[in-house]
Chain A
Amino acid sequence: MNLISKKDLLAITGISYGQLYRWKRERLIPEEWFLKQSAYTGQETFFPREQILSRIKSILDLKDIYSLEELAKILSPESSVEKISVKDLMEVEEIDQELLEILPEVFDEDRFEFFEVALTIAISQTAKRIGLSQEAMKNLLRKSAAAAMQLKTVNIFCTVFLIGEEYHAVFTPNLVAMNFDNEIEMKEQLPLSEITDSIKIKYKHLFIK
């Protein structure tokens, strides 16, 4: 996992210790992103680099528009968000419209949790980036939904890989280095939380109670 130390984080973003800990206390930064590790100076705290930098940018961009309480609702993965219908999801341009028609079959319901929406966006964006056919994209969502649902949090990484002509996905709590044999090709690794921050902000009226 690509990590950044707390000291470097404060230096790069210009935030203070007080802001960092206030935002942690307000649940704007998930506790599991604070990774304590041994360093030559003793114990040091590190963060997953992409996730924390993206989150702090979101907080800095929005802190003058929303109160910390409102921001926590927007950014916290635990915040209560409305279940959303296929009709409303048509507004979300990050979702490939082809996936919308199979959502009730994949998730076995008519209204979808935010986590399910995030997964659908992740698969849509991955398909676009690596040039999946529509059928391969639908199959990937069908296959990956059950595995992702077992973790049921947006604080996970989605890794997509290709075996022969079949695409598969694996979900892990952290970004882990994966060494596959030469018949498996890794195609994409992305944190779901990176998607959810921007989606919640962009479609606040759909997701936030």
Chain B
Amino acid sequence: MKGLKLEGVGRVSGGEYDSIKLEGVSSCSENIKAEDIEIEGVFTCGGEVEAGRMYCQGVSDFKSNIRAKKVIVSGVFNIKEGAKLEAEEISCEGVIRTGGEIYADVLRADGCISAREVYGDNITIETHFPVNRIVKLFKTSKSDIKLIEATTIKISGVTADTVNGTDITIGPNCKVNSVDCSGTLYVDSTSTVGSITGNYAIREYGQP
């Protein structure tokens, strides 16, 4: 296998790599597979991506599915509607925007996530105020998700249609239409929640 480093403007050929490091403006129209992918510039990818670790501190646009062990986003990660992002672990200090689905065992975001659906085990999305530099640049100040479904959910600064989970913490500045909870539930006084269903127990903030 091979390593690839692009610093200027160029195209990435599809195929398998050990590592890919993209610092300029690059694109790829085929599927790529690599143990490690680092994006520091601008990257557009039409093919599917399979990676061990994926790190994006630039701006990337993906048209097809992404499957990785770990995804770290401190830049902007755009995924086309209908495509999926799947990872064991996702860490987001920047922006993830997708009209599709995100699957992660663990998702920790203090940036912004805009997605149709987010599924997983342990989902934490805390979009802070004031928002960070990257988030501000893209004029996104709240995470906006249609459906969040996970075992443990902790959100703040999130607008969501539906939140379903076992243990749910709805922190400050959230707006959620409906919650279904089967474990413990906390709702911050600054947040608004429409209907709440399920066999849940109300929990004080900070309690396990």
Contacts and interface: CB of A to CB of B under 8 A. Distances in A.
Interface of A: 7, 10, 16-19, 21-22, 24-25, 41-42
B120 A18 contact: yes
B178 A42 contact: yes
A21 B178 contact: no
Contact of A18 (B105, B162, B182, B197): B105
A162 to B, nearest CB: 44
Given A17-B149, A17-B150, A41-B178, A22 B162 contact: no
B43 interface: no
Chain B contact residues, majority secondary structure: strand
Of A16, A21, A22, A41, chain B has the most CB atoms within 10 Å of the CB of A21
Q: Which of B122, B164, B197 has the most CB of A within 10 A?
A: B164
B23 to A, nearest CB: 30
9 contacts: A7-B180, A17-B150, A17-B164, A21-B121, A22-B105, A22-B121, A24-B103, A25-B105, A41-B197
A26 B166 CA distance: 22
A16 B178 contact: no
A16 B86 contact: no
A67 B166 CA distance: 25
Contacts of A17: 119-121, 149-151, 164-166
Chain B interface residue bracket vs A? 20 to 34
Interface of B: 86, 103, 105, 119-122, 149-152, 161-162, 164-166, 178, 180, 182, 197
A46 to B, nearest CB: 14
A21 B120 contact: yes
Given A18-B120, A18-B122, A42-B161, 14 more contacts: A7-B180, A10-B182, A16-B121, A16-B166, A17-B121, A17-B164, A17-B165, A17-B166, A18-B152, A19-B121, A19-B151, A22-B121, A25-B86, A25-B105
Contacts of B121: 16-19, 21-22
A111 to B, nearest CB: 29
B151 A16 contact: yes
A24 B152 CA distance: 18
Nearest to B198: A7
A21 B103 contact: yes
Contacts of A7: 180
A10 B182 CA distance: 10
A18 B178 contact: no
A21 B150 CA distance: 8
A184 to B, nearest CB: 41
Contacts of A22: 105, 121
B136 to A, nearest CB: 32
A69 to B, nearest CB: 12
Contacts of A19: 121, 151
B30 to A, nearest CB: 21
A139 B149 CA distance: 49
Nearest to B152: A18
A70 to B, nearest CB: 17
Contacts of B180: 7, 41
A15 to B, nearest CB: 10
A41 B196 CA distance: 11
Contacts of A21: 103, 119-121, 149-150
